[in-house]
């Protein structure tokens, strides 16, 4: 006895819809119509052919209706209002007026006085030694 192999079902992966193939075919016809018309016919005929091919294939572009957009906006506003209600409102504390910030990297008055005193001492020592400059 021979056993027949079970029938295998093949599933179609990918592929293209009939509408997609039709759009591609129409575009190819349009391209060739332009090329052939440009070779042998005046521009008015080319424009007429192009217009006829374009009119023959109305393509619906993606988009959203005004009602759909309004529903999405309403849902988003509802989500945000729920989030805002859940969070407690925290007000920023009022800062006390502080004095003007001190300049960074500067020298204090005492430091400046010490440097000046040291410079005077060096000059006095140099003068007593008879030198004109350091």
Domain count, the chain: 1
Q: Decide if 36 is inside a domain.
A: yes
Q: Which stretch of 3-7, 69-73, 103-107, 128-132 has the lowest confidence by average pLDDT?
A: 3-7
39: containing domain: 20-59
Q: Decide if 91 is inside a domain.
A: no
Enter the pTM of the model.
0.25
Mean per-residue pLDDT, 115-131: 89
Q: Which residues, at least 6 apart from 53, have a Cβ–Cβ distance to it below 8 Å?
A: 26, 29, 30, 33
Q: Decide if 2 is inside a domain.
A: no
pLDDT in tens, 72-112: 999 999 999 998 888 776 677 767 767 766 667 778 889 99
pLDDT in tens, 36-71: 777 776 666 667 777 777 766 666 677 888 999 999
Backbone angles phi, psi at 63, to 5 degrees: 175, -170
The answer to whether 46 touches 34, Cβ cutoff 8 Å, is yes
The per-residue pLDDT for 15 is: 86
Q: Decide if 34 is inside a domain.
A: yes
Q: Decide if 55 is inside a domain.
A: yes
Q: Decide if 75 is inside a domain.
A: no
């Amino acid at each position: 006895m021979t056993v027949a192999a079970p029938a295998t079902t093949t599933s179609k992966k990918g592929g293209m819809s009939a509408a997609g193939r039709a759009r591609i075919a129409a575009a190819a016809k349009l391209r060739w119509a332009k090329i052939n018309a440009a070779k042998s016919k005046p521009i008015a005929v080319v424009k007429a052919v192009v217009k006829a091919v374009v009119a023959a294939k109305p393509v619906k572009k993606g988009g959203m209706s005004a009602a759909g957009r309004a529903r999405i906006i309403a849902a988003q506003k509802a989500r945000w209002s729920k989030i805002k209600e859940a969070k407690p409102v925290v007000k920023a504390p009022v800062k006390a007026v502080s004095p003007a910030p001190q300049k960074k990297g500067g020298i204090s008055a005492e430091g400046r006085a010490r440097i000046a005193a040291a410079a005077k001492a060096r000059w006095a020592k140099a003068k007593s030694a008879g030198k004109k400059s350091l």
